[in-house]
Amino acid sequence: MGAQLEIESAREAALSFDVTRTVVLGRYIQAWGMPAHRVVMTGRAGQARIEIYHFPPAASAHPARYATVGLSRVHHKTGAAHAEWMMALEAGLGGEGVDRVYGYFCDLIAHSIENTDGSEPPRVMGASPLAPQKWTAKAILIDELRGESEELERIPVGSETVALQWVVPISQKEAALILEQGIDAFDAYIEDLAHSIIDPARPA
């Protein structure tokens, strides 16, 4: 009987994930077109499944995007639910390859799950030696979604709502600006920036 209950519970979890994927991925495809690649992260004993999709630029002037499905089903140690993440990058990925960016994004996700408490954005992760070598922006800002369709900010899935947050590589100087003066000062800084904020290899 116990084994049967475990099987049914596993089936229910798999169905719930499938529903989340169908709805969330459908919104992504509607906004950004078809993904080109997918990487799957699994937690201990396969208990957590996080899928990361790469959406190539729809045109040369458009960004590439990496977005998660399933991260919102993971909880921090405090019990707070994670949000889904989206990282937009200029089409050239800052001189790095698709797989290298995948690896770094997975590192960021693992770090966030293990070491953050689920506090509300904006949040800053300091510069990391794990960041791609060619990037000058080696710190990370996690904030409310920007520059995307409002329909992506909060996605209804059944009786729940899945939030999508913006993950953007920033320089250590930019990280210090946010921590010392707040996100409004960073927004003003972006307005005067000569290079795109989604270019991770921009001059530091």
* Residue carrying the six token digits 């000058």: 136
Under 8 Å between Cβ of 100 and 92? no
Compute the distance between CA of residue 190 and CA of residue 196 in angstroms, rounded to an integer.
8
Q: Contact at 8 Å (CB) between 69 and 152?
A: no
8-state DSSP, 81: B
Q: Cα(16)–Cα(158) distance, rounded to whole angstroms?
A: 10
Q: Give which of 76, 56, 77, 75 is closest to 65, Cα–Cα.
A: 56
Strand pairing of 64-69 and 49-55? antiparallel
Write the pLDDT tens digit of every residue in 70-125: 999 888 777 778 899 999 999 999 999 999 999 999 999 999 888 877 778 899 99
Instruction: Categorise residue 95: left if φ over 0, alpha if ψ from -120 to 50, beta otherwise.
Output: left
Q: Six-digit token pair at 8?
A: 């049914």
Q: What amino acid is encoded at 176 in this protein?
A: A
pLDDT tens digits, 128-138:
999 999 999 99
Angle at alpha carbon of residue 144, lines to 138 and 42, rounded to 5°:
65
**Residue spans per domain, the chain:** 2-191
Q: Give tens-digit pLDDT for 20-73.
A: 999 999 999 999 999 999 999 987 655 679 999 999 998 878 999 999 999 998
How far is residue 197's CA from residue 171's CA, in Å, rounded to a whole number? 10
Query: What is residue 103's three-state secondary structure?
Result: helix
